[in-house]
Structure 1
Amino acid sequence: MKATRLDDEQARHNVEAGFWAGNPVDSYLAAAAIRTPAAVAVVDRGRRWTYGELDGAVNRFASALRGRGVGPGDVVSWLLPNWTEAIVVHLAAIRAGAVSNPIIPIYRHRETAFILRQAGTKVAVVPHSFRTFDYPAMLDEIRAEVPTLETVVVVGGGPPAFDDLLAEGRADPVEAARSSSDIALLLYTSGTTSAPKGALHSHDTLDHENRSMIDFFGLTAADVVFMPSPVGHIIGVLYGLQLPFMLGSTVVLLDVWEPGRALELIEEHRCTFTVAATPFLHGLVHHPSLPQRDVSSLRVFACGGADVPPELVRAATTALGCTVTRGYGSTEYPTATACTAADPVAKRAGTDGRPIGPAEVRVAADGELQVRGPELFLGYLDASLNDTAFTDDGWLHTGDLARIDADGYVEIIGRQKDIIIRGGENISAKEIEDQLFEHPAVADVAVVSTPDPVLGERVCAVVVPEAGGEPTLPELVDFLTGRRMARQKLPERLILLDTLPRNPSGKIQKFRLRELARENGVTR
């Protein structure tokens, strides 16, 4: 497997500038295992894995894959929760010269079959059961749709079981002919309106991203990474499966999100650094046990993957006593901007940060943010998607609307498809959302359009009330009016829900809310 879109001139520049340093993704684990074999690498479900144990498991699984005919360019797909087995499979596939293809474990038959078929998956690894779902049964039911699939490995079941492959392999290092420019990761975007798109990353792009984050946040071997974000998502892959071993530090995994348990783990293991989406930050800040927990070790909470209300950043900064920052990135360009403790709280809360390292950002004439830099992915597996994804001069179309202030900080103000056009006037949904989030009776909120025969579209607020509350439309309108919001931006419909639908990365699935608004449009 290789990228069909790669700018040779830009690649040469990345190498000559030292952005691409030629480091295989899995090499850091191997080096740390030699340097400090008894150090704790992973804490998972009450068990501690040392660097020696983890690297040995990666070697054994990699050699077992090679023994089963997996070679350079072959795809190893896996649907696993935040378990150590995910780390082993990911790094073993890469060490064997293959391509690691994480799949979010909440995906079911339709999405999984599409990905396995398009990827040409040779080996798939699944849990026997997770959250009561039978993954081997799903693979049995879709296997006829994936003619390339030769082996299904089951964690906690079988045959073959995950432990069977470990027994087949050897603990000594695996030798595979490979280059840092090889594709190491095939990761599908969690699309909200269409089929997911398979993004291709090399060792070089992934390695640069993590090295830039280490430099930006001043991370060292003394840091302890807490990872609740799904490891089938770009955040989990980078900061749960790779960055800790570059530091030679420890990662603490949480497989089922529960904010009370998260606070316990942060306190128990003195976690210092995490990257996670808005719902995770919101859950920690609003959990009733927070005042009783000592989370003083937490140094940085970088929040991205979904819209982050400014008030949440301010509240979290106070409640957690650490640097809380918004950040901007995607599967295609993992982290373009963020802030550190050196940046004012106003910038951390009110913007999505400043460019990290050599990342380049610009706003096009139509307001779209475009990005370019050493961690930019190398194109989609479906090459037909590349022409519309990139500009002629190699910048990525993000589809996000943004502005860049005089100090160089980027603020995402909405999606190109997230503008409400009321009576011919463009209205930013995000502007209204940020204000409504500060209402005391609002726990979560999304603003979408609802059709209108006269004005074209009207503003509809979809609100998750705080416990015991039930805000009314007049109350919310009065609240916004008190904040001097223009009349045409005020919501004209209100829908109350118990929870907002989100995709695996935490982004609100607004297409579903638009459908609900069209069908329902309840005014309260």
Structure 2
Amino acid sequence: MTTTGLDDEHKRPDRRTGPTGHLVDGYLAAAAARTPEAVAVVDRGRSWTYGELDGAVNRFASALRSRGIAPGDVVTWMLPNWCEAIVVHLAAIRLGAVSNPVIPIYRHRETAFILRQAASKVLVVPQRFRNFDYPAMIDEIRPEAPALGTVVVVGGDPGRTRFEDLLAEGADTPVEVARASGDVALLLYTSGTTSAPKGALHSHDTLDHENRSIIDFFGLSAADVVFMPSPVGHIIGVLYGLQLPFMLGGPVVLLDVWEPGRALELIEEHRCTFTVAATPFLHGLVHHPSLPERDVSSLRVFACGGADVPPELVRAATTALGCTVGRGYGSTEFPTATACNATDPLARRALTDGRPIGAAEVRLAPDGELQVRGPELFLGYLDASLDAAAFTGDGWLRTGDLARIDDDGYVEIIGRQKDIIIRGGENISAKEIEDHLFEHPAVADAAVVSSPDPVLGERVCAVVVPEPGQDVTLPGIVEWLTARRMARQKLPERLLLLDELPRNPSGKIQKFHLRDLARGQDSPRPDTGWTR
């Protein structure tokens, strides 16, 4: 793997703190030495102890090494929230290689792009997940990934190189390689709101600083049980599902296919206390009909981020779940810049995205763009030509988000720079309108984008998913917003009705699709169920 350009001093962010000296996989090894019989992972009805998990990591790392994988090589894996994902992730890192998680909903085009750009030496996939044949896809795109040498299949058919085969051939003793906490450990492609993914590089240090700030901010300990429904191919799942639990020495409960009823069962059964997940997960729990029947009193923190969080959802969830629900802000490049905890009043947790945590720093550029820096800030992109646009000259990350910061330091994201609709020369915040639409009783989901206009430049276009059985019309929406005393220039002038909004794996709405729809340049895709 090449990191050309990362050694240019002006591209390196100001860490403000020194290296931690900790290796990501070292926490698992230490916990296994202390309490080998303690439960580390609960997955698909089975529990893995710390001793079992650490042994599997050693064996998989040994098998990779025997197949020629060396420090700096990229090990790509696209797995659901399964214990095998933990094994592959930590084994690659223990070997000194670079772990490259890929969201399993990606298909031929995205997967081929990542394998080719990352020069992946190994790929680990399931035989089938959600009725999709992953090995068949890899067979088709393999000519586009010339560096790919080994494809490992979890639950593979005979004739494939199977995950269990590598575990059987590996040695129990840890591999010995020279490593440092500043080494690149993770290559993670953004699943952002644009159509072009970017490979972000993190080191042991950046990942360790991030998780340490979360542990301190929420007061986590070995007594906590982490629940992880967020995809482990996303930064949230990697950090808080595959790494943080082992820093605590407690268990993590994985859920591979999101179903809120099943999630409530797992929280009750395993007395889960802490989770980080995006808005759709929180919404699903709060509105599931079985919630009143479930004892979820063990849950004390639901940190919600990765997508816009309506204030009313935070208020409703705080009451329904009986725990601290708060908004937070971060990205693949800077996982958590701001958050709220139990010391923050409900109004702050509902109406803002929190305050800086740990050593994170925030500031506003003259145009209102939020910029962040701190020790968890990523090293740069695999394609180093992207770094100049990402970092300021003094080492701050340009987030592309517009924000307000109040006198107490609380940050409120008011939209993306591209989310500002310029109607007749006046700037209109899409998020402000969205927050009101979310509270409409007939609206299940909503987004606001610009619609081109030859005279005014842009007009406000509301994209709405109606609640089942509800009729949503443009005049009805306008009347409802007018009653809430919204200025006339902010009222939607066009309405698109969809069965669901296009979202990336972290839950963020992919507005570039919606803008195309509003411009008439895109058609509803049959595999998403979109309708006009």
TM-score of the pair, normalised by structure 1: 0.97
- What is the CA–CA distance in structure 1 between the aligned matches of 2:55 and 2:390, rounded to whole Å? 40
Spell out the pairing of 1:114-129 with structure 2 (5 A cutoff): 114-129=113-128
Q: For residue 6 of structure 1, report the CA deviation from its aligned partner.
A: 5.3
- Give yes or no for the alignment of 1:385 onto 2:392: no
Q: For residue 443 of structure 1, report the CA deviation from its aligned partner.
A: 1.1
- Give yes or no for the alignment of 1:322 onto 2:296: no
Spell out the pairing of 1:330-479 with structure 2 (5 A cutoff): 330-479=331-480
Q: Is the 8 A contact 1:6 1:378 kept in 2?
A: no
Q: Is the 8 A contact 1:274 1:300 kept in 2?
A: yes
- Name the % identity: 82
Alignment match, 1:242: 243
Q: Is the 8 A contact 2:195 2:512 kept in 1?
A: no
- Report the residue type matching 1:206 in the other structure: L
Q: For residue 5 of structure 1, report the CA deviation from its aligned partner.
A: 2.5
Alignment match, 2:217: 216
CA deviations 1:275-298 (Å, max 9, x no partner) are 001110111111111111111111
Q: For residue 97 of structure 1, report the CA deviation from its aligned partner.
A: 0.6
Question: Structure 1: 5+ residue runs without aligned partners?
Answer: none
Aligned residues: 522
1:121 partner SS:
coil
- Report the residue type matching 1:87 in the other structure: I
Spell out the pairing of 1:220-299 with structure 2 (5 A cutoff): 220-299=221-300
Q: Is the 8 A contact 1:450 1:514 kept in 2?
A: yes
Which structure is richer in relative contact order (CA contacts within 8 A, separation 6 or more)? 2
1:397 partner SS:
strand
- Report the residue type matching 2:174 in the other structure: P
- What is the CA–CA distance in structure 2 between the aligned matches of 1:6 and 1:347, rounded to whole Å? 40
- What is the CA–CA distance in structure 1 between the aligned matches of 2:13 and 2:282, rounded to whole Å? 39
CA 1:348 to 1:337, structure 2 compared with 1: closer, same or farther past 3 Å?
Answer: same
- What is the CA–CA distance in structure 2 between the aligned matches of 1:420 and 1:499, rounded to whole Å? 23
Q: For residue 517 of structure 1, report the CA deviation from its aligned partner.
A: 2.0
- What is the CA–CA distance in structure 1 between the aligned matches of 2:360 and 2:52, rounded to whole Å? 36
Q: Superposition RMSD on alpha carbons, in Å?
A: 1.9
Alignment match, 1:511: 512
- What is the CA–CA distance in structure 2 between the aligned matches of 1:216 and 1:425, rounded to whole Å? 40
Q: Is the 8 A contact 1:445 1:464 kept in 2?
A: yes
- What is the CA–CA distance in structure 1 between the aligned matches of 2:116 and 2:296, rounded to whole Å? 44
- What is the CA–CA distance in structure 1 between the aligned matches of 2:379 and 2:523, rounded to whole Å? 42
CA deviations 1:98-142 (Å, max 9, x no partner) are 000000000000000000000010000000000111100111111
- Report the residue type matching 1:25 in the other structure: V
Q: For residue 471 of structure 1, report the CA deviation from its aligned partner.
A: 2.2
- What is the CA–CA distance in structure 2 between the aligned matches of 1:521 and 1:8, rounded to whole Å? 45
- Report the residue type matching 1:449 in the other structure: S
Moved more, 213-222 or 513-522: 513-522
Q: For residue 11 of structure 1, report the CA deviation from its aligned partner.
A: 8.2
- What is the CA–CA distance in structure 2 between the aligned matches of 1:163 and 1:346, rounded to whole Å? 50
- Give yes or no for the alignment of 1:42 onto 2:21: no
CA deviations 1:367-390 (Å, max 9, x no partner) are 100000000000000010001110
Q: For residue 175 of structure 1, report the CA deviation from its aligned partner.
A: 1.3
- Report the residue type matching 2:129 in the other structure: F
- Report the residue type matching 2:440 in the other structure: H
Moved more, 185-194 or 212-221: 185-194
- Report the residue type matching 2:455 in the other structure: V
Alignment match, 2:495: 494
Question: Structure 2: 5+ residue runs without aligned partners?
Answer: 525-531
Moved more, 402-411 or 168-177: 168-177
- Report the residue type matching 2:71 in the other structure: P
- Report the residue type matching 2:231 in the other structure: P
Alignment match, 2:198: 197
Q: Is the 8 A contact 1:229 1:235 kept in 2?
A: yes
- What is the CA–CA distance in structure 2 between the aligned matches of 1:359 and 1:50, rounded to whole Å? 34
Q: For residue 39 of structure 1, report the CA deviation from its aligned partner.
A: 0.4
Spell out the pairing of 1:87-106 with structure 2 (5 A cutoff): 87-106=86-105
